[in-house]
């Protein structure tokens, strides 16, 4: 029977970062993943935005998360010998008077990350807008697909990935550890996105899955070194190709791309963009969000060999490096998990 320290279930953003930090700490691990090209991770825009929402609020823990993410992604780039991470500026065209006022209020109270657009007509050849614009900087942009495929290639080259759908029926746990498909491990950690909402160990956690949709759009002549936002966001993927989205549906009947979103997004392009465009793809995915908008990190109170790193919602690119490191530090005996993310906060629920 093969012996490892940790089995990771899922090779999305969370599972990839957990594998990286385990490797850095000298743990022997295996990843189990069936390589779904339509997972939430593979469809993620990859934008780390420090100021979001209608009220233009600074996102949770961003002062810690941004520098940590920057250092971690740059280190991963060097290790994999590829580039998928950059600092980028977001140009925010105000879609309403309320959003303009929110930007101005936030800038007056705390100008960090914000800069008013003094040259009101700067982007008028590219977009229709009436209320001016401001910028958010720095943001970070992760080429998620390139990051995930690069890490997967390294896992495959080193015999550290099992290309398979995880079979819960094959999992056995006891006080000594984990057995799965002829492998014995000290721990198993589920990083499998929405699947954890059905996991018998973690189904009681307050997941709040939501459906997101987006388009890939070809737009020639639009700068690829900026993100543009006016309600929806246009995020560069590669030269002349942009990700447009996204929607947030809490009540959905299926996981398929909808005609309604495509019509809404096409209308947005027609009404806001001054350049010719071509829609080349339409996709949808379920996000593993949580009711309290905080991640699930740690080990089950009744099954201390079974862990989870999940519930990252739309913030996976910023949260995953940080909390994967905290989880590995806990395993190493060198640190603790932030109590606002540690699943011990649900000990009573999970202990039933």
Q: Per-residue pLDDT tens for 262-284?
A: 999 999 999 999 999 999 999 99
Same domain, 32 and 61: no
Residue 231 is assigned to a structural domain of this protein: no
Could you read off the pLDDT of 165-219 as tens digits, one per residue?
A: 999 999 999 878 999 999 999 999 999 999 999 999 999 999 999 999 999 999 9
pLDDT exceeds cutoff 80 at 55: no
Same domain, 311 and 279: no
Q: Which of 271, 286, 301 is the last residue of a domain?
A: 286
Same domain, 152 and 101: no
Identify the pLDDT of residue 35.
78
Identify the pLDDT of residue 250.
86
Q: Averaged over 312-321, what is the pLDDT?
A: 95
Same domain, 314 and 275: no
Range of the domain at 77: 47-142
Same domain, 183 and 160: yes
Return phi, psi of residue 148, to 5°: -70, -40
Could you read off the pLDDT of 7-42 as tens digits, one per residue?
A: 999 999 999 999 999 999 999 999 999 976 667 777
The Cβ of residue 284 has, within 10 Å, a number of other Cβ atoms equal to 22
Q: Give the ranges where the chain is alpha helix by DSSP (H).
A: 13-25, 62-80, 97-109, 144-157, 259-272, 316-332, 347-350
Question: How much is the pTM?
Answer: 0.95
Residue 91 is assigned to a structural domain of this protein: yes
Same domain, 200 and 300: yes
Same domain, 197 and 314: yes
Q: CB neighbours of 208 closer than 8 A, spacing ≥ 6?
A: 250, 289, 290, 291
Residue 104 is assigned to a structural domain of this protein: yes
Mean pLDDT, rounded, of the chain: 94
Identify the pLDDT of residue 37.
64
Q: Averaged over 66-89, what is the pLDDT?
A: 98
Could you read off the pLDDT of 95-147 as tens digits, one per residue?
A: 999 999 999 999 999 899 999 999 999 999 999 999 999 999 999 999 999 99
Question: Collapsing DSSP states into helix, strand and coil, what is residue 266?
Answer: helix
Identify the pLDDT of residue 174.
82
Q: Averaged over 322-328, what is the pLDDT?
A: 98
Same domain, 321 and 254: no
Identify the pLDDT of residue 52.
83
Same domain, 299 and 334: yes
pLDDT exceeds cutoff 70 at 163: yes
For the chain, count helices (H), then strands (E): 7, 19
Cβ-contact 219, 275 below 8 angstroms: yes
Could you read off the pLDDT of 232-258 as tens digits, one per residue?
A: 999 999 999 999 998 888 889 899 999
Question: Collapsing DSSP states into helix, strand and coil, what is residue 254?
Answer: coil
CATH number of the domain where residue 33 is located:
3.50.50.60
* Nearest Cα residue to 177 out of 168, 167, 187: 187
pLDDT exceeds cutoff 80 at 61: yes
Number of domains in the chain: 3
Q: What is the radius of gyration, based on Cα positions, of the chain?
A: 21
Identify the pLDDT of residue 287.
92
Residue 319 is assigned to a structural domain of this protein: yes
Cβ-contact 35, 342 below 8 angstroms: no
């Amino acid at each position: 029977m093969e012996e490892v320290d940790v089995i990771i279930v899922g090779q999305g953003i969370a599972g990839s970062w957990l594998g990286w930090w385990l490797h850095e700490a000298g743990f022997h691990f295996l990843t189990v993943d069936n390589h779904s090209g339509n997972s939430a991770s593979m469809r993620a825009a990859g934008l780390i935005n420090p100021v979001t929402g209608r009220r233009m609020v600074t996102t949770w823990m961003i002062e810690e998360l941004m520098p940590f993410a920057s250092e971690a992604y740059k280190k991963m780039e060097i290790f994999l010998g590829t580039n998928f991470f950059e600092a980028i500026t977001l140009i925010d065209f105000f879609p309403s008077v309320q959003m303009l006022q929110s930007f101005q209020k936030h800038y007056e109270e705390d100008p960090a990350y914000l800069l008013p657009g003094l040259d009101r007509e700067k982007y008028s050849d590219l977009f229709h807008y009436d209320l001016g614009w401001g910028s958010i900087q720095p943001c970070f942009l992760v080429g998620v697909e390139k990051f995930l495929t690069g890490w997967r290639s390294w896992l495959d080259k080193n015999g550290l990935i099992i290309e398979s759908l995880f079979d819960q029926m094959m999992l056995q746990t006891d006080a000594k550890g984990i057995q799965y498909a002829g492998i014995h491990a000290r721990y198993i950690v589920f990083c499998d996105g929405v699947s954890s909402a059905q996991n018998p160990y973690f189904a009681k956690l307050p997941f709040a899955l939501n459906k997101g949709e987006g388009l890939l759009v070809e737009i020639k002549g639009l700068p690829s070194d900026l993100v543009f936002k006016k309600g929806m966001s246009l995020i560069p993927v590669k030269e002349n190709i942009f990700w447009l989205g996204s929607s947030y549906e809490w009540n959905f009947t299926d996981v398929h791309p909808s005609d309604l979103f495509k019509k809404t997004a096409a209308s947005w392009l027609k009404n806001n963009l001054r350049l010719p465009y071509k829609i080349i793809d339409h996709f949808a995915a379920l996000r593993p969000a949580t009711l309290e908008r905080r991640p699930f990190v740690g080990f089950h109170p009744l099954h201390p060999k079974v862990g989870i790193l999940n519930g990252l919602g739309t913030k996976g690119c910023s949260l995953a490096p940080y909390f994967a490191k905290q989880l590995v530090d806990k395993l190493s005996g060198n640190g603790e998990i932030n109590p606002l993310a540690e699943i011990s906060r649900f000990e009573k629920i999970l202990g039933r």
